[in-house]
Amino acid sequence: MGLIGLFGLIGLTGLLNKVHPSQSGSLIRLLGLLGLFGLGGFWISSLGACGAFGALGVWNHQNPSIARLSYLGGLGIIGVIQTIAFYLF
């Protein structure tokens, strides 16, 4: 479960591969920093799965192959559900 968070590191590619300044959504690239929570998945699995939200940082990248990788960010919902279930039960 914690390894799902490593998909969040895809968001860091949005920070490394700069887009043209006229491209909208430049602030959304900062979601790529959430991918660093994915590294916490080695210790706390639900935190790591929440780190998958970092992949959403490349949702409108001008390179279509990088933009397609943003769909993996939806797996962060699994981490949120698991975290809520852990603390409620």
List C-alpha distances in Å: 55 to 3, 72, 77. 14, 6, 12
**What mean pLDDT is reported for the chain?**
80
pLDDT in tens, 33-75: 777 877 777 787 777 788 888 888 888 888 888 888 889 888 8
- Which H helix or E strand runs over 67? helix 64-68
Supply the pTM of this predicted model. 0.74
Structure token digits, residue 25: 């959504």
Cβ-based neighbour number of residue 17 at 10 Å: 13
Answer for the pair 49, 75: CB distance below 8 angstroms, yes or no: yes
* Residue spans per domain, the chain: 2-88
pLDDT band at residue 31 using 50, 70 and 90 as cut-offs = confident
Residue 77 confidence (pLDDT) above 80: yes
